Amino acid sequence: MSATTFGHKGMQAVQNKDFAGAVTLLDKALESSSSPAWLLARAQAHQQLKNYDAALDDAALAYHVAAERGSGNSRKQMIEAQYRRSVLYFKLGRYADADCCARWAMLLAEGRPAREDGGVEKNVDGNGNYTVTYEAAVADKKGQPGQESKATWIAGIAGGGEGATAGTPKTGFENDWKKAYTWRSQVLGAMAKLPDDHTGRKVTVTKIPQKPQKKAEKKAEKAPEAKAEAEDDVMEVESAKPEGPAPGSVPDEQLKLRVDFYQSNQSVTISLFVKDAKRDDLDVKFFENQVQISPLPRAAAPYVKPGDREATSTIILGGQIDPSNSRFSVTPRKIELVLQKATAGVKWGSWGREEIGPAPEGSTTSTAPVPTTTSTTEPAVASTSSIPSPPVAQPKTTAAPSAVPAYPTSSRSGPKDWDKLGDVEGEDDADKQDVNYFFKQLYKGATPEQQRAMMKSFIESNGTALSTDWNDVKDRKVETVPPEGVEAKKWD
């Protein structure tokens, strides 16, 4: 497991309040790199476990590492390190030190230079007691960021004014400033109740904390590969976010595969675009109304492993198939399902839909699945031990002539079963795009007499005329009337 994984799991453990587990995980992560994000997370965990000295060391080291890196997230981490020091000193009863650290966090949030001497720690009397009061801290808002436009602030400085007396421009750390400002009221309110000679009134800290030594310095130089991995880990956690999504965090809709399909009268071919599916490990189970595939890698969620719910896809089909004569093949970039239609000539309105996870029990209509564990170009054969044989073996026959109309057709959607034309329940948007959709609706809404007229006129005219007047067509043959510019010819 890489340092990034340990770091991510450790930070998740802090969020889940598993502080002991977080320390163990973050210890392993920090063996490879001193990420400020991991150090701050471990400082918080140590604080909750009352390991205050260890937490202070982590906060101090996080401050130094962030300052040395100087990345876009460094100031945010330095502010957090000073705030964490303030909280820890408060826990230790060192209220003057806690207020100084909170004030330094505010100065950083105002955009002040990190090494600027703010002089906060110098507010002491002859006895060395800290003199800043609750009232003075609450009234001091002159440096609050976001209270003045940048142009006005610069103009005030150029004109010899104080520049920051009415506030400073936005820095992006307004919320951090407010958090430290609010925290100071609690710190100074507690300090006001102390006796004059209490050690909690003494200032013993410096703005830049002493850098603690690493507990486990590695003597041997890392191999180039290990070094590169550690540097990558550091870059990936700069914003306190590990590479890739957290397990279980990606919605099912984002996990679904890109799909393409086409069909003939006999079969439907569905292409599932997925990279690096393992041919030898792939398990494809065909049912009459769905196909279950696993394990599948997910580009949107690299954490998915074989056996996880997200590693399985169930394809809910748009029609019925013959499982025993369906098959699949695998290439480096896709899985192709070749599904034999249960009834030849029946057009599917769509390929269906994909559901993440295995099919629920009882959701399939076939007696048993037809499993295949390796890619093949031959039809998958059902196991005779799992599927009972029919009482009398009969050769497979093609669909009955009545199932598919015998009249010729040039329709792109194939021959139509006019006996079922009125049944358009469940029609979806894909069906509405079919050129015959209008005629389906017209036929469905017609009376039996009108339907008879439509059938007779359409067949006798070879599809060139459609009448709904039975009295007009019942006693005559409807002639073929080709469109203008087209000549009708008889087929011999």
The ranges assigned to domains in the chain are: 3-213, 253-372, 408-473
Query: What are the tokens at 291?
Result: 């196909």
Domains 3-213 and 253-372 share a fold: no
Count CA within 13 A, CB hemisphere, residue 294.
Answer: 17
Q: Which of 106-120, 181-195, 203-217 has the highest mean pLDDT?
A: 181-195
Q: Are 12 and 41 in contact (CB under 8 A)?
A: no
Instruction: Please report the pLDDT score of residue 164 as a whole number.
Output: 44
Q: Please tell me the pTM assigned to this model.
A: 0.44
CB-based burial label for 1 (10 Å; 0-12, 13-18, 19+): exposed
417-435 pLDDT, tens digit per residue, is 555 554 444 445 545 555 5
295-320 pLDDT, tens digit per residue, is 888 888 888 888 888 889 999 999 99
Question: Position 303: which residue type?
Answer: Y
Instruction: Please report the pLDDT score of residue 469 as a whole number.
Output: 86
Q: How confident is the model at residue 247 (pLDDT cuts 50, 70, 90)?
A: low
Q: How confident is the model at residue 50 (pLDDT cuts 50, 70, 90)?
A: very high
For the cut 90, the answer to whether the pLDDT of residue 488 exceeds it is: no
* Gap between the Cα atoms of 26 and 42, Å rounded: 6
DSSP 340-362: EBSSTTPPPS--EEEEESPPPTT
Instruction: Please report the pLDDT score of residue 374 as a whole number.
Output: 40
Q: What are phi and psi of 273, to 5 degrees?
A: -85, 105
When pLDDT is averaged across residues 81-106 and rounded to a whole number, the result is: 93
Instruction: Please report the pLDDT score of residue 139 as a whole number.
Output: 85
96-133 pLDDT, tens digit per residue, is 999 999 999 999 988 888 878 778 888 999 888 999 99
For the cut 80, the answer to whether the pLDDT of residue 452 exceeds it is: yes
* Gap between the Cα atoms of 312 and 293, Å rounded: 6
Q: How high is the mean pLDDT of the chain?
A: 77
28: nearest Cα among 17, 47, 13: 13
Range with the poorest average pLDDT among 28-32, 204-208, 219-223, 278-282: 219-223
CATH class of 3-213: mainly alpha
When pLDDT is averaged across residues 486-492 and rounded to a whole number, the result is: 69
When pLDDT is averaged across residues 2-27 and rounded to a whole number, the result is: 90
* Gap between the Cα atoms of 136 and 188, Å rounded: 10
341: nearest Cα among 331, 329, 351: 351
Range with the poorest average pLDDT among 63-67, 280-284, 378-382, 451-455: 378-382
Q: Residue 443: CB partners within 8 Å, gap ≥ 6?
A: 418, 421, 422, 451, 454
CATH class of 253-372: mainly beta
Q: How confident is the model at residue 389 (pLDDT cuts 50, 70, 90)?
A: very low
How open is the CA angle 249-252-254, to the nearest 5 degrees? 85
Q: What is the share, in percent, of the chain residues with pLDDT greater than 90?
A: 30
How open is the CA angle 241-244-245, to the nearest 5 degrees? 85
Q: Are 338 and 263 in contact (CB under 8 A)?
A: no
